[in-house]
Amino acid sequence: MTDVSAHIPDFIGPESLSSVYRHCIQVYGKFLLALDRKDRNFISTSLDQTDVAQVIEGYGRAKIWGSQTKVDLPASARGSLDDTLRHDYELKNVVKGILIRLDALLDQEPSAD
């Protein structure tokens, strides 16, 4: 049997899940505003075919997920996702990795076309 955790990069650092999530939602919101404005300084032309409704739905789902998992609570709050996963290093690492990846995708610099 293979150790799955050996294939997962270590994302656990000083930042809490809560702070990574809040930053991700902030970047997501800026992305939505840029889509609405069609701000070409922010968005590459390859996003012209982006389905804005799907992006908005994704934002809504991320907000609902944050509320349901309580990742939107301060890290030190009882019942927050940080508190719930404080002893589950592997799962906390996976969640943080997903949030960091989403944040990076949303915060990419426009490509030069």
What are 28-70's pLDDT values in tens digits? 999 888 887 765 554 555 555 667 888 899 999 999 999 999 9
Q: What is the maximum alpha-carbon separation in the chain?
A: 51
pLDDT 10s digits, 74-109: 999 999 999 999 999 999 999 999 999 999 998 875
- Burial state string for 45-81 with b = 16 or more CB within 10 A and e = fewer than 16: eebeeeeeeebeeebeebeeebeebbbbbebeeeebb
Would you tell me how many other CB atoms lie within 10 Å of the CB of residue 112? 5
pTM of the shown model: 0.76
